[in-house]
Every structure is written in C-alpha cells, then in structure tokens.
Structure 1
Amino acid sequence: MPVDELKARRRSELREFLMSRRARISPAEAGLPDGGARRRTPGLRREEVAVLAGVGASWYQWLEQGRDISVSPQVLDSVARVLRLNNAERRHLYALAGMNPPVPEAEPDKQRDMCEGLRRLIDAWMPYPAHIMDSYYNCVLYNDAAASVLGMRPGITQNCIIDFFTDPMYRSRALSWERNARTVVAQFRAACLASPDDEGFQEVVAELKAASAEFAELWERRDIEEAGQIRKEMDHPVVGLLCFESSVMKLPARPDLAVVLHTPLNEADTAAKLEWLASPEGRRGAMYPVAG
C-alpha cells in the first residue's frame, strides 16, 4: 500500500478514535457545568477538551482532523488524561499520532484478577513445571511441579536469576547449566536495557556480581538476547533425567509479569516421570518435600 494511503488511513482512524473517546465523557464527569442545555452530540466538545488539556483549540481541532502537525509526548499525555484513556488506549493514541508508544503498564484494577487467573493457569499446567516472574525475575507464583523439579521453595531468594547462579540444589540438578548460563544473562541484560534508569535492575546486578564470579564474567561480555525458549536438562534425585523446553511468554495486560512454562520433550520419558512425581505415590517417594 502506498505511503500516502497508509498515512490517510492512520489519520482517519485518529479522527474517529478521538471523537469516540470525547463522546463517552460528559461535561459533568470532566468537572464542567453543562448549563442545562441540550447538546447536539454527547460528550465533550473539541474546545472543551482543548481547554482541559491546556492546548489551543485550533491545535486540538487539527489533531482530531489528522493534520500533519507537531506533537509531543507531554501534549498527548494531557489529551489522554482529559479523555481518560487507559494504558492501551494511550499507546494507541501515540501510534496514531505517529509517535513511539510509551512502555506498557499494568492497569491497577486488573492486577488482582490477573494474578488469580495466572495462578489458575500454572496450576492447570500440572504436572509440568510453571512459574510467574516479575520484571526483575522475582518469582511471584510457582506450581507444585516447579517446586519438586526446579527446587523452588521458600528458603531461597525467590529471584530466578540469582537462584540460577547461587542455589546449590538447582545447580546440582541442572545438567544444562553451563550451556544456558550465557543465554540467561544475555536475556536479563535485555530486560535491564528496556528500563535503563530502573534502580531495581541495578540492585539485582550488584547482588549477583557480589555473589557470583561466573555471573560477573558473563555480564561483562555484554551479550543481549530477547527472552524466548531454552532447552533444559535436569537430573532429578528420584526419577533421573528430565528434558524440557522452557518458554517465556509476556502478557500484554500485565507487562510487568512473564509466564515461564516448561514443556516436556519426547526424551527420557519426561512426561511420564512428571506425572508420577505429581501422583500421591510420587509425592511420598520424593527426596525433597514439595513446596508451593
């Protein structure tokens, strides 16, 4: 499709989007007197949005008409505030205005429901290991299989990358540790670079450098990889070799969280071993108690 046609389509969508967002907000909701007069169209007028956003009436009209005008993140955020856009709508406004959308944020009213839904998700993944981690790789939730196979338990730091390097139980079981260490560090560096001014990442890096010379050496390589899939081989003390494909999946509704699912590969009878470990007999025979 020609560039001019794409721009025209985007500007048309911008106009329709802003008009629809104006229409859903009454003057009373915006803190304006309605004067008791009947309006021809519902919602706010263009000039009212302009006044509330602190921009010129002509400029806002041009924005809504999709004209080729100069915009800034500050002005778009003011318009988004007046129109009460949620995070997804705010990002959509940026894209339609031809600007890079802001970093996704979690909607506060969705956080509790999402966590409950994610708990159901990883519990439904049983008997296979699954866990949820935040942006800093802190483990938020894990299922029983992640406890019995990966060694997740209350007595460790509950940070996936710190425990990868410092937890003796995980290190003793992870046959693929040497092969995966570089990738794990490269993926964490990619997460850090997405928020370069976030002190939370800097604290994790500082703690790991002090605790692990192996991490410090890998960190200085400055390798970068996006999170994806990693093959893992674990030597479980009861059932022996287990082979997984670990997949990291981001959630648009909760960009601060990631789901990590371990899918058994068709090797070493992994699926059957996991089913046995999750059974009453397997739980009784496990060397370590199952946490969760």
Structure 2
Amino acid sequence: MTTMVQETAAPTTGSGAASRRHELAAFLRSRRERITPEQVGLPRGTRRRTPGLRREEVAHLSAVGVTWYTWLEQARDIHVSVQVLDALARTLMLDGSERAHLFQLAGAVDPTPAASCTGITDALRETLDQLDPLPACVQNSRYDILAYNRTYARLLCDLDAIPPEDRNCMLLVHTHPDWREAIVHLEETMRLMAAKLRASMAGHLSEPAWKMLVRRLQTESPEFRENWERYEIVAHRSKTKQIRNAHVGLLNLHHTDLWLGPQHGARMVTYTPVDEETRERLRKLHALAARPAVA
C-alpha cells in the first residue's frame, strides 16, 4: 500500500493549540481502542493485549507512516493534511459528528460535501420532491450526490444507508456491490465515468477533495486504476441508461443533466422513462420508497 506523504509545518505556539493537540491525541486513542480487528478484516490472534486496534494497524489501514501516526497520538506539533484526516476518519469508522470533531480538533476544514452542502436551497429540494416518481438528484462535477428524491434513493441501492461522505457516484460504482449489480453495462459505465472525471478535474487539480477522491479510488478499485491511466477525456452528454433495479426489475431511462450554474458546477440529474413499462415500474418504486421504515 502506498504511504501518504506527510506534510510538515512550522511549530504552532499558544496553550490553545497545545490543548487541541492533546485532545486530538486522546480522541484518536479512544476511537482506535473501540474498534475490533474483526471489524476491519484483521485477525485477532492469541497474543493481543491492546484493546481495539494497534497504532501500526491504524497507520497501515490509513496509508500513513507508523512513526508519524505515533507522534500524532503523542500530541506532537505536526501538520495533518485533510487527506490524512479523511483516511483516519474512514479507518476509525467515525460518524458525521465525530468526523466534524476530528477536523475541528486538527484545525482543518473538511472538504467533503457532507460537511458543508452549499447551494441546496429549500426550493431546489421541493423541485426534486415534485419530480417523483421520476428519479432525480443534484450532483457536482466530482460526482458527489448533494441531494436526491425518494425514488432516486432506491434506484441503485439504499442510498439513505450510505454515509453522506460516501455518497459519490464514482465511489459507489466502483465499490458498492448493490450499485454495481444495478448497472447493466458496468464496464462501459466505469470507463466513461473515469473519462468524465478526468475532464472535470482539469479545473480542480490543486483541490484537496478532488485529490482525496482519486487517491481513494486508486486504492480501492483496480478497474478505476486501469481506466484512469488511459487518460481518456469525455464531455458530459445526455444518454439512455439501463438499470436493473432490485425491487421492480429492468428500467430503460433517458439520463439528462440540467446545469444549475456554470458548466463545471452543480447539475440536476434526471431520469425519465423510455417506455410505458418503465414508467409503471418507476411508480411502483416510488411507492416502495415512500413507505415508512419499520422500527
């Protein structure tokens, strides 16, 4: 596994900064100790004395150096990049509140759309709701899903069950079993999406959130690594898609991007039925999605 390059910064001064570092160290230790090896796919062994994960295991799973991570838990005055914070948050299985707390203690701004989902107004959410039973969502050019209606929530998987920071179409099509199963032409779709992402990334090469996404995809998906190295470029265009929904069967859909701002900004993605059979199946899917959850 490739180790992330650690950045260093000039020492910070002041009791406030020192207190934050000690609080960060304690927080990391507490979260490391609550995770069992089995939860992250590691063997427990017979000689384990450390509660939860060892430091070297967290470092390995997060692709950071063991010495550097040890310094972090020792409250050393070192700089923590947002890429490393994101990796630690995923390794330690932090929920939304814990992730926000981690970034706050580190004095960093979380670049994921889940942290600050700007531009999604009440009017836009109402528009999405009014489109039901047509599946619709709002995405940015990095494929983050910023908002969606009930039918879209059940179109490819149970999207409500996905943590907000992982609601990204690129990530889901390469790593989520249900999402992948629903795509009829999976290999073609992955190659096309990688080409679109590379085209969009030209204007965002220095942004941490973009680099975090590409690094994560390269780590978790051999298909993405292969397609990314092709250096193919494709612009966005409307098209017809086939989706094999787990609840209502095959759906033939027109995919349309409705841009909400500049070309590389957010867009509303809509799916309209190609045929009457698909239209009826979308009504059934919406009815299923609208049912209250069973406690």
- TM-score under structure 1 normalisation? 0.54
- After TM superposition, which residue ranges in structure 1, 4 or more long, deviate above 6 angstroms? none
Cα deviation code 1:76-107 (max 9, x no counterpart): xxxxxxxxxxxxxxxxxxxxxxxxxxxxxxxx
Contact 1:228 1:249 in 2 (8 A): no
Say if 2:192 is the partner of 1:183.
yes
Instruction: Pick one of 245, 251, 261 that aligns with 2:254.
Output: 245
Residue 169 of structure 2 corresponds to 160
Contact 2:141 2:197 in 1 (8 A): no
- TM-score under structure 2 normalisation? 0.54
Count of aligned positions? 174
Greater shift, 164-173 or 230-239, is seen at 230-239
**Where do residues 273-292 of structure 1 align in structure 2 (5 Å cutoff)?**
273-279=281-287
> Root-mean-square deviation (CA), in Å?
2.5
User: What percentage of residue pairs aligned between the two structures are identical?
Assistant: 27
Cα deviation code 1:88-129 (max 9, x no counterpart): xxxxxxxxxxxxxxxxxxxxxxx56x5222212211111011
**Where do residues 118-133 of structure 1 align in structure 2 (5 Å cutoff)?**
118-133=124-139
Contact 2:261 2:267 in 1 (8 A): no
Cα deviation code 1:127-177 (max 9, x no counterpart): 011111233222110111111112222325111111111111111111122
Residue identity in the other structure for 2:281: K
Distance in 2 (alpha carbons) for counterparts of 1:233 and 1:262: 11
Distance in 2 (alpha carbons) for counterparts of 1:235 and 1:168: 13
Contact 1:180 1:230 in 2 (8 A): no
Cα deviation code 1:1-20 (max 9, x no counterpart): xxxxxxxxxxxxxxxxxxxx
Residue 278 of structure 2 corresponds to 270
Gaps of 5+ in 1: 1-110
Tell me the secondary structure at the aligned position of residue 225 of structure 1: coil
**Where do residues 1-292 of structure 1 align in structure 2 (5 Å cutoff)?**
115-151=121-157, 152-156=159-163, 157-252=166-261, 256-266=265-275, 269-279=277-287
Residue 62 of structure 1 corresponds to none
Distance in 2 (alpha carbons) for counterparts of 1:132 and 1:158: 11
Contact 1:128 1:145 in 2 (8 A): yes
1:253 to partner: Cα distance: 7.0
Relative to structure 1, the CA distance from residue 237 to residue 154 in structure 2 (aligned partners, 3 Å threshold; closer, same or farther) is closer
Tell me the secondary structure at the aligned position of residue 231 of structure 2: coil
Distance in 1 (alpha carbons) for counterparts of 2:121 and 2:264: 12
Gaps of 5+ in 2: 1-117
Residue identity in the other structure for 1:168: P
Residue identity in the other structure for 1:142: Y
1:233 to partner: Cα distance: 1.2
Residue identity in the other structure for 1:153: D
Computing the radius of gyration from Cα coordinates, the structure with the larger value is 1
Distance in 1 (alpha carbons) for counterparts of 2:194 and 2:224: 7
Contact 1:245 1:262 in 2 (8 A): yes
Contact 2:150 2:290 in 1 (8 A): no
Residue identity in the other structure for 1:147: A
Relative to structure 1, the CA distance from residue 230 to residue 180 in structure 2 (aligned partners, 3 Å threshold; closer, same or farther) is farther
Contact 2:171 2:217 in 1 (8 A): yes
Contact 2:200 2:264 in 1 (8 A): no
